[in-house]
Amino acid sequence: MCGTRLQPRLHDGRERPTCPGCGFVLWPDPKLATAVVVEAAGGIVIGRRAIEPGYGEWCLPGGFVDDDEHPAQAAVRECREEIGAEVEILDLLGVYHVRRMIRPHLVALGYRARLRAGAEPSPGEEMLELGVFEPGRIPRLAFPSHVQVVSDWLRIGEYGMSEET
């Protein structure tokens, strides 16, 4: 905050970067993200990534939560951006701690959603293609957290994939 180089100091039993001038402590907080299981007639919507990390691999729609939005709003926005469709959030599937090697760790919120009436998914800028996959035919997913979200969705078994969704 004051421009002095941070130095490691003990806080709450752990070393944290601390400013010896003004006392500022840099707490390494995780980023907040979403991953959405979007139910569609016969399966769930999964996209093949057009960006890194995981270019060309399959993933759930989702992404980072902006500072000014509720995580469920971020999930809806990310679906609009990535699969070009409006969705309705149905449930929170779980909260996942995602460890990353280089970047800050994540806390990911897994949501269950369905397409809004009349919505037709189409790939956004971050997707090469989309598919609707039945529970037994889900492709290998790029991220372990997405595997866990889908696994939790399968375990719960509340697919709700009717002709209307």
pLDDT tens digit string along 104-127? 789 999 999 999 999 999 999 999
Q: Which of 117, 159, 160 is nearest to 135 (CA)?
A: 159
112 close to 37: Cβ distance less than 8 angstroms: yes
Q: Alpha helix locations (H) across 66-105?
A: 71-83
Q: Where are the domains of the chain?
A: 31-156
Domain covering 31-156 in this structure, CATH number: 3.90.79.10
pLDDT at 27: 85
pLDDT tens digit string along 72-87? 999 999 999 999 999 9
Residue 98 in tokens:
């995602």
pLDDT tens digit string along 3-29? 899 999 999 899 999 999 999 998 888
